[in-house]
Amino acid sequence: MFIKTCRFKDHELTRFRDLQRRSFDILENTAASLAGGETEKQVARDLVSQYRAAGAQSFFHLPVVLFGERTALPGDWTVGKFFPKARQLETGDSVILDAAPIFSGFLVDTSYSFCFGDNEAHRKMMRHLARYREQVPAAINSGTTFSEIAGSVQSSMRDAGYEPVHTKHPGEVLGHRAIKIPDLPVQPRLQGFDAISLSWFRLKDSLAMRGLGRRSPLWNTKSASDHAAHDGLWLVEPHAGQNEVGAKWEEILLIEDGQASWLDGRPPHVRQWECIAAGGEYGPLANTIRH
Whole-model pTM: value is 0.94
Residue 291 covered by a domain: no
CA distances from 90 to 38, 93, 94, 95, 251 (A): 9, 6, 9, 10, 27
Q: pLDDT, tens digit, for every residue of 83-137?
A: 999 999 999 999 999 999 999 999 999 999 999 998 999 999 999 999 999 999 9
Amino acid at 48: V
Q: Is residue 2 part of a domain?
A: no
Q: Which pLDDT score is estimated for 198? A: 74
> pLDDT class for 291, splitting at 50, 70, 90?
very low
Structural domain contains residue 53: yes
For residue 195, give the nearest of 108, 84, 203 by alpha carbon. Answer: 203
Q: Is the pLDDT at 215 greater than 90, yes or no?
A: no
**Does 65 reside within a domain?**
yes
Q: Does residue 212 belong to any structural domain of this protein?
A: yes
User: What are the CA-CA distances from residue 169 to residues 73, 77, 135, 172, 220 (Å)?
Assistant: 9, 9, 21, 5, 11
CATH label of the domain that carries residue 181: 3.90.230.10
Mean pLDDT within 3-26:
97
Domain count, the chain: 1
5 within a domain of the structure (yes/no)? no
For residue 66, being part of any structural domain is answered with yes
Sheet holding 58-59, edge to edge: 58-59, 101-103, 106-107
The domain of 238 spans 10-286
Q: Which of 278, 275, 279, 227 is nearest to 255 (CA)?
A: 227
Between CA 114 and CA 15 the distance in angstroms is: 27
Whether 1 is in a domain gets the answer no
